Amino acid sequence: MQVPVRNMAGETVSAVELREDIFGLQPHEGVMHQAVLRQLANARLGTVDTKTRGDVSGGGRKPWRQKHTGRARQGSTRAPHWKGGGVAFGPHPRSYAQRMPRKMRRLALRSALSVKALEDRLVLLDQLAMEAPRTKTMLDVLSNLQIESSVLILTSESNLNVELSVRNLPGVKTLRVGCLNVIDLLKHDMLLLPLQSLQAIEETLGA
């Protein structure tokens, strides 16, 4: 699959043949779905905690004697059905982390990248270089590339000027290739990929 490469002015300068084993797969929806669920689950803190009847204070004495009062027998005022009592079957700290084999994680990323390529939502850039952080310059670049919807910009390494330039733009996010994930790929309509980032992806996800 050949994709044109454009510069920051929007002009086509060359073309690149994308690797079929990364950008030309039949997307595996099941694996992508599992990767999304895993990422959402691993983001949960699991720190919520409730007190059981053994944790709340008070209730050391039996409220009233067992028999001959005409009332239901009670052993403690800290039972769950009492006001101020403990919580029955409440949440406690736990880990929501899910495991997923490395091959499946890589297949999910390849499938998400293939979706972008097959739907023509992948834009290749010869280089993304900015001398200073400037939001207007980034807006001009996106306008030259005819990107009007949400876009994910992948950088091969940390690029502070680019990160600061897009931070105030709604629907625009920058991400390093090492932090690439399925949710961000699927959440943004377009994928802006400088050639250095493309090379890093091929080195990481290549067979």
CATH number at residue 141: 3.40.1370.10
On whether both 75 and 124 belong to a single domain, the answer is no
What is the number of alpha carbons within 13 Å of residue 58 lying toward its C-beta?
A: 10
pLDDT-derived band of residue 206, with 50, 70 and 90 as boundaries?
A: confident
Query: pLDDT by residue (tens digit) across 134-146?
Result: 999 999 999 999 9
* Mean pLDDT of the residues in the chain: 92
**pLDDT score at 207:** 66
Determine if residue 104 is left, alpha or beta; phi over 0 gives left, psi from -120 to 50 gives alpha, anything else beta. Answer: alpha
pLDDT-derived band of residue 124, with 50, 70 and 90 as boundaries?
A: very high
Query: pLDDT by residue (tens digit) across 88-101?
Result: 999 999 999 999 99
Query: pLDDT by residue (tens digit) across 48-84?
Result: 999 999 999 988 899 999 999 999 999 999 999 999 9
- Maximum mean pLDDT: which of 7-11, 34-38, 54-58, 124-128: 34-38
Report the percentage of the chain scoring pLDDT > 90: 80
On whether both 7 and 87 belong to a single domain, the answer is no
The whole-number average pLDDT for the span 22-40 is 95
On whether both 32 and 134 belong to a single domain, the answer is yes
The parent domain of residue 149 ranges over 2-44+99-205
Q: 16 pLDDT exceeds 80?
A: yes
| C-alpha span between 207 and 202 (Å, rounded) | 9
On whether both 152 and 81 belong to a single domain, the answer is no
